Amino acid sequence: MRIEYTGLSEIRGSLIALDGVRDAKYDELVEITLAGGRRRRGRVILIDGERVVVEVFEGTDGIDMANTSTRLSGKPMEIPLSEEILGRIFDGTGRPADGMSEIFADETRDINGAAINPVSREYPRSCILTGISSIDATCTLIRGQKLPIFSGAGMKHNELAAQIVRQARVASDAEGEKFVIVFCAMGIKNDTADYFRRDFTESGALGRTVMYLNLASDPIIERILAPRCALTAAEYLAFTLGYHVLVVMTDMTFYCEALREFSSSKGEIPSRKGFPSYMYSDLASLYERAGLIRGRPGSVTLVPILTMPGDDISHPIPDLTGYITEGQIVLSRELSQKGIYPPVGILPSLSRLMKDGTGKGFTRADHPDLSNQLFASYSEVSSARSLATVIGEDELSEGDKLSLKFGSEFESRFISQGMYENRELEQTLDLGWELLSILPRSALSRVSDKVLDEHYKGAE
């Protein structure tokens, strides 16, 4: 029987402190009963002798020092899990938020998870086709990868994420693979959450989707817990039930800001831009939960979305994310202004795992060569463009003019596509070669003659 403590000795921000506690465990769950009988939950975050500091998930508004009683549960924060979670909506702490009853749990799990032993990991190699040319050809998503979308305010990252969810399938697999979605919202507006819910409903994906929602108006502590609940559910679905899980988390920027707010309320020493110094480790503890485990059927693929404050890729949030994730899809303000959807900035986007999951035996033999050459040729477009603004297009050399032509066709025909347009990989790759054929053959130095003979269609 656990003891119940009455009264608090301090309230600060979302933290409460208790004195005279003898048996508290670090990180355990605490139940707090308010004067009116309302209940809240919290977690032990500091033990100092007989003083215990607890973070209250729902915030400390309305808590008074004298008439609050707390009870230690003796267990860390856990969520109930079973196959029934599919199709359900939960709040940031894993309680039902769709008006239905609690699920019947097969097991409960600590939301902090445990690190996957690097020896037990399987290196991800099977490629996920999204039907989006700019991703499939040059920034291929691999099953078990963590590939974030770096966006900015006002760009169509939600639409892109929804399209990925709608169209994603694995190239090499037989029909009937078990594929589910875990959606985690952190601090986003109700409209955005609603957009995803509607989109999942329309595409018929809602029945195989689990949602953990922490909206903009919900408490920030729950925002820190929400992705942990979602990833615990994802790990359970993948490694216990054998599903292939695609986790969409949005918006990591709000998550990091919640972390900062919470850290400063604890009085921690801030690091760059006021974010806590452990933000790298904290983000890693989320992102690294993606992957494959040798000998287990399922997989966790992670697509976090973050909006770069001021479109600044060197801001700590995208910066630390980029150091942990296996590449990034960067949306470009310039393309977005030109009205191009999806506005994927080809040059800064990168998929670190694509080299081992594309090409012969995975997709099509010429895929890596094509992707390399597209990068190289497209990177020359920008220097031709800046030269054209200085000396005028007419004065450009023949090579630079062709480069400009390639650039605009590449953007309008290859990058740009409809929100419901699902391009086959064959189609994407052939289109890539068709566009490269605008350029003279001698300009394609990244590709061997043999491959050029097969695919180059331009005049010699």
Partner 1 sequence: MEKQPHYYIYGINGPVIKVRGGRELPRMSLVYVGRQKLFGEVVSSSGEESVVQIYEDSTGLSAGEEVEPTYRPMSIELGPGLIGSILDGIGRPLSRIEEMAGPFIARGMNLDSLDPEKKWDAEVLIEEGEVLRPGQIFAKCTESGMIEHRSMVPPQLSGRAVDVRPSGAFTVGEPIAYVEDERGRRTPLTLAQRWSVRTPRPFASRRSIDRPLVTGQRVIDTLFPVAKGGCAAIPGPFGAGKTVVQHQLAKWSDADIIVYLGCGERGNEMTQVLDEFRELKDPRSGRPLMERTILVANTSNMPVAAREASIYTGMTMAEYYRDMGYHVALMADSTSRWAEALREISGRLEEMPAEESFPAYLPSRLAGFYERAGFVDTLGGDEGSVTVIGAVSPQGGDFSEPVTQNTQRFVRCFWALDRSLAYARHFPSINWNNSYSEYLTELMPWYAENFGADFEEIRGRIMSLLNEESSLMEIVKLIGADILPDDQKLIIETAKVIREGFLQQNAFHETDTYMRPAEQMAMLRTILRLYDSARALVADNVPLRMLQETGIFAELERMKFGLGAGTTAEEYMRKVDGAVEHVRKLNS
Contacting partner 1 within 206-245 (CB under 8 A):
239
Pairing type for strands 327-330 and 149-151 reads parallel
Q: Which is nearer to partner 1, 131 or 316 (CB)?
A: 316
457 scored as a contact of partner 1 (CB under 8 A): no
Q: Smallest distance from the beta carbon of 366 to partner 1, in angstroms?
A: 15
Task: Please name the residues in contact with 21: beta carbons below 8 A apart, sequence gap of 6 or more.
Answer: 5, 50, 51, 52, 72
25 binds partner 1 (CB under 8 A): yes
Residue 310 found at the interface with partner 1 (CB under 8 A):
no
Q: Rank residues 2 and 189 by Cβ distance to partner 1 and give the closer one.
A: 2
- Tell me the closest approach of the beta carbon of residue 81 to partner 1, in angstroms: 15
Q: Which CB, 62 or 270, lies closer to partner 1?
A: 270
- Separation between Cα atoms, residue 172 and residue 205, nearest integer Å: 22
In angstroms, rounded to a whole number, what is the distance separating the alpha carbons of residues 103 and 100? 9
End-to-end CA distance of the chain: 85
Rounded CA-CA distance 46/54 in Å is 7
Smallest gap from Cβ 182 to partner 1, in A, equals 18
Interaction of residue 420 with partner 1, rule CB under 8 A: no
Cβ nearer to partner 1, comparing 19 with 191: 19
Contact between 357 and partner 1 by CB under 8 A: the answer reads no
Q: Which of 28, 78, 222, 251 binds partner 1 (CB under 8 A)?
A: 28
Question: Angle 252-265/220-235 helices, nearest 10 degrees?
Answer: 130
Helices marked H in 266-366: 279-287, 316-324, 333-337
Applying CB under 8 A, does 101 fall inside the site for partner 1?
no
3-state secondary structure of 448: coil
CA dihedral for 72, 77, 81, 84, sign (positive or negative): positive
368 neighbors 352 (Cβ within 8 angstroms): no
Least Å distance, CB 190 to partner 1, is 32
In the complex, the smallest distance separating the C-beta of residue 109 from partner 1, rounded to whole angstroms, is 11
- Residue 36: which residues within 8 A CB-CB, separation 6 or more? none
Taking CB under 8 A as the criterion, the residue among 6, 190, 337, 379 binding partner 1 is 379
Taking the least distance from each CB to partner 1, the nearer of 164 and 452 is 452
- Cβ-based burial of 433 (10 A; exposed 0-12, middle 13-18, buried ≥19): buried
Using the rule CB under 8 A, is 328 a contact of partner 1? yes
Rounded to a whole number of angstroms, the minimum distance from the CB of residue 90 to partner 1 is 22
Interface pick for partner 1 out of 59, 76, 87, 440 (rule CB under 8 A): 76
Select from 160, 165, 169 the least CA-distant residue to 128: 169
Nearest residue (CB) to partner 1, 135 versus 205 = 135
The gap from C-alpha 344 to its chain's centroid, in whole angstroms, comes to 16
| Residue 296 in contact with partner 1, rule: CB under 8 A | yes
x/- mask, partner 1, residues 119-138, rule CB under 8 A, reads xxxxxx--------------
- By CB under 8 A, what part of segment 260-279 binds partner 1? 268-272, 276-278
